[in-house]
A and B are shown apart, each in its own frame.
Chain A
Amino acid sequence: AQSVTQLGSHVSVSEGALVLLRCNYSSSVPPYLFWYVQYPNQGLQLLLKYTTGATLVKGINGFEAEFKKSETSFHLTKPSAHMSDAAEYFCAVSEDGGGTSYGKLTFGQGTILTVHP
């Protein structure tokens, strides 16, 4: 069964500082990995996803993530935080293993990012 662990339920950074949100997954088959962002009182918006190919994935708003199979990780980074990045971020995994769970997204618990002026 697939699962996702996000290390740190809250991360606080200063504006202009590096953002690093950690995500580790477990999967019995090659995973597809996603990062979603959720602003207050809104739904989830896709930031980026890894399916196949290049392991460094670039997304919207300057975010990127690197798939590291040996570490079963998919950490999200942004070189310079902006106040507008304050939100909750969710890592998710999907498997191409067939069956009724095919394509099912399993989410982590979320990480709330706070950006200080």
Chain B
Amino acid sequence: EAGVVQSPRYKIIEKKQPVAFWCNPISGHNTLYWYRQNLGQGPELLIRYENEEAVDDSQLPKDRFSAERLKGVDSTLKIQPAELGDSAVYLCASSLSVGAGNTIYFGEGSWLTVV
């Protein structure tokens, strides 16, 4: 069974340019997460979806970040315009459903460098 798939794996852009990351969760997983991991730190949740509904986006910087999961399957995270401080790894993850004890499966991440 395929895991969480993310693309692109690596992206280098100039500041003020837009960038988008795509994620395809594990088949059948209703809950999808986007986390951001800064260098030397643990991941931090940006947004969580239950099917196509964003149920927790309190940590998403809405002035420049947007996300969508239109059909409740794959998802896109966009940054426009990018800033130097956005350099990080963007991790997509999924789980069967929301549940405090449910295992969350992570993709390999999209590594963003803003220059």
Contacts and interface: CB of A to CB of B under 8 A. Distances in A.
Could you say which of B99, B100, B105 has the most chain A C-beta atoms within 10 Å of its C-beta?
A: B100
B interface, size bucket: 20 to 34
A44 B109 CA distance: 9
Contacts, number: 67
A interface, size bucket: 20 to 34
Given A43-B106, A44-B106, A100-B58, A107 B98 contact: no
Nearest to A107: B42
Interface stretch (A66-74, A76-84, A87-95): A87-95
Contacts of A43: 4, 91, 106-109
Contacts of B14: none
- Label chain A's interface by main secondary structure: loop
Interface in A49-108: 49, 51-52, 90, 92, 94-97, 100-105, 107-108
Interface of B: 4, 31, 40-45, 48, 55-56, 58, 91, 93, 95, 98-109, 111
Given A4-B42, A43-B107, A102-B98, 11 more contacts: A9-B40, A32-B100, A45-B106, A51-B101, A52-B101, A90-B43, A100-B56, A101-B56, A103-B99, A105-B43, A107-B44
